[in-house]
Structure 1
């Protein structure tokens, strides 16, 4: 199972900082997240970047291994 880490607004929407999901691709992961956390989380997820082991995964076909770590990062404002 891939390990997920939620940050900022994504953690608030999921009401969790971490999770584990069994998914073969980023697209499958997004679908599983929607089933688990619902429509409000999915709204937040559309704004987020996904990093797989530190590398941005912008394509739903990116493969996931059970040992991967996926970071769910909402946009950050800086100043």
Structure 2
């Protein structure tokens, strides 16, 4: 399992701040997030960065068991 932490608009769309999901590729984890939370989260995810233990992941990149995956939408400001 991994810990997913949602921030800002992603947390609002998911309806939770954190949850546990199965480990896998970034694409598999993203699919699990959409399956759990629906189209509103899917729309927000298109603008989000996914960071597994501080490293950006996408597509086939692995998110290993025990990792923390941060779902970060773009933030305003500098």
State the TM-score, normalizing by the size of structure 1.
0.93
Judging by fraction of residues, say which structure has more strand: 2
Mapping 1:48-63, distance limit 5 Å: 48-57=48-57, 59-63=58-62
Equivalent position of 2:65 in the other structure: 66
- Structure 2 residue 76 is matched with structure 1 residue 77: yes
**SS at 2:40 equivalent:** helix
Q: 4+ runs of 1 displaced by more than 6 Å?
A: none
Contiguous gaps of at least 5 residues in structure 2: none
State the TM-score, normalizing by the size of structure 2.
0.95
Equivalent position of 1:23 in the other structure: 23
- Superposed displacement of residue 23, structure 1: 3.1
- C-alpha offsets along residues 3-43 of structure 1, whole Å, 9 cap, x if unaligned? 00000000000111001100311010011111100011100
Count of aligned positions? 78
Contiguous gaps of at least 5 residues in structure 1: none
- Superposed displacement of residue 65, structure 1: 1.4
RMSD: 1.0
Mapping 1:33-48, distance limit 5 Å: 33-48=33-48
